[in-house]
């Protein structure tokens, strides 16, 4: 019988999920809008729909899901999120201004 829980073979620190989510949220918020509401479904959770009030809300949940899943500690998520925000700000600085 396989183990009930498998820890994936990648490092805890920093959380790449938090970093990539925060970077995407920064760019999308700047170019699409800060408070865009949306929902998402997943093939791995049939029938479950997650609703978000902003890209940053989704990014925070994405990072925390890694803590709840036992993959990262909070510090890895917090620092990954900070790194991602900085990356997103740098991307925004290099992109043409938003035309919202």
- Mean pLDDT in residue range 45-58: 95
Instruction: Kindly state whether residue 7 falls inside one of the protein's structural domains.
Output: no
What is the pLDDT at residue 96? Answer: 87
**Whole-angstrom Cα distance, residue 79 to residue 94?**
23
Domain count across the chain: 1
**Whole-angstrom Cα distance, residue 63 to residue 77?**
6
Residue 93 has pLDDT above 70, yes or no: yes
Instruction: Kindly state whether residue 5 falls inside one of the protein's structural domains.
Output: no
Residue 28 has pLDDT above 70, yes or no: yes
Instruction: Kindly state whether residue 2 falls inside one of the protein's structural domains.
Output: no
Q: What percent of the chain has pLDDT over 70?
A: 95
What is the pLDDT at residue 99? Answer: 65
Instruction: Kindly state whether residue 32 falls inside one of the protein's structural domains.
Output: yes
pTM of the model: 0.86
Contact 29/84 with Cβ under 8 angstroms?
no
Per the prediction, the chain carries an average pLDDT of 91
Question: Which domain, by its residues, includes 63?
Answer: 16-94
């Amino acid at each position: 019988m396989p183990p009930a829980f498998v820890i994936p073979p990648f490092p805890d620190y920093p959380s790449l999920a938090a970093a990539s989510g925060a970077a995407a949220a920064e760019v999308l918020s700047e170019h699409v809008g800060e408070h865009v509401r949306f929902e998402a479904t997943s093939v791995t959770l049939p029938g479950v729909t997650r609703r978000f009030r902003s890209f940053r809300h989704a990014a925070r949940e994405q990072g925390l899901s890694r803590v709840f899943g036992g993959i990262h500690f909070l510090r890895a998520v917090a620092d990954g999120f900070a790194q991602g925000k900085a990356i997103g700000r740098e991307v925004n600085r290099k992109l043409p201004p938003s035309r919202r």
